[in-house]
Amino acid sequence: MNSSVRKKVMILGGPNLSRLGQREPEIYGKTSWEELSGLCSEWANSLDLNVEFLQDDGEGALVGLIHQADDQFDGLILNAAAYTHTSVALRDAVSAVSIPVVEIHLSNPSSREEFRQKNLLSGVVEAGVFGFGTQSYRLALEGMAELLGA
Ligand code: DQA
């Protein structure tokens, strides 16, 4: 397929995800963020999607990247990490975009500590995938391809 007509998906990670692989591997697995980026490129390629893989620890920077996704991409796969549970700013940013947003988590936050039970994003996203470790990203890409009719 001609890559110029491929749909573009931003995969955006929030705080501490750059430490994947070394950060609580019993919860988040041993795959590093860099390795996950490579896997997502392969999965996206097989789904005829183009992906950009970005991460930032800052709430304001993430808001800016969500705006950028809305302006320049066809879909957004978002792991807002800890901000999922705290950030009205990210919720407002997601509410305002016109592209589909799929929320993603490596773990299942609902089965963890009480402070993770609160989710400010789930009410404003198109769909969500959680609890499958790095495979959550593959499943989210497959779901996004369906949503975009790619
Ligand atoms: C996470 C779950 C969040 O509760 C946590 O703060 C993270 C990672 C996940 O992918 O499982 O940083 O989003």
The predicted pLDDT at position 150 comes to 81
Q: What is the pLDDT of residues 98-128, one digit of tens each?
A: 999 999 999 999 999 999 999 999 999 999 9
**Tokens representing 74?**
């066809």
* C-alpha 122 to ligand 1 mean position (Å): 14
* C-alpha 85 to ligand 1 mean position (Å): 9
Residues with Cβ within 6 A of ligand 1?
16, 79, 81-82, 84, 105-107, 109, 116
State yes or no: pLDDT of 1 exceeds 60.
no
Domain that holds residue 62: 3-148
Nearest CA to ligand 1 atom 2: 81
* C-alpha 82 to ligand 1 mean position (Å): 6
DSSP code of residue 121: S
pTM of the complete model: 0.96
Residue 102 CA to residue 75 CA, distance in Å, equals 8
- Out of 59, 79, 86, 110, mutate this one to test ligand 1's pocket (max ligand atoms within 8 Å of CB): namely 79
Cα distances from 42 to residues 59, 119, 127, 138, in angstroms, run: 29, 30, 22, 10
Q: What is the pLDDT of residues 16-33, one digit of tens each?
A: 999 999 999 999 999 999
The predicted pLDDT at position 5 comes to 86
State yes or no: pLDDT of 4 exceeds 90.
no
For residue 124, what are the contacts with CB-CB under 8 A and spacing of at least 6? 91, 94, 95, 101
Placement of tokens 């809305």 in the chain: 70
Number of domains comprising the chain:
1
Any idea what the CATH number is for the domain that residue 114 is in? 3.40.50.9100
Q: What amino acid positions are annotated as catalytic residues?
A: 28, 105
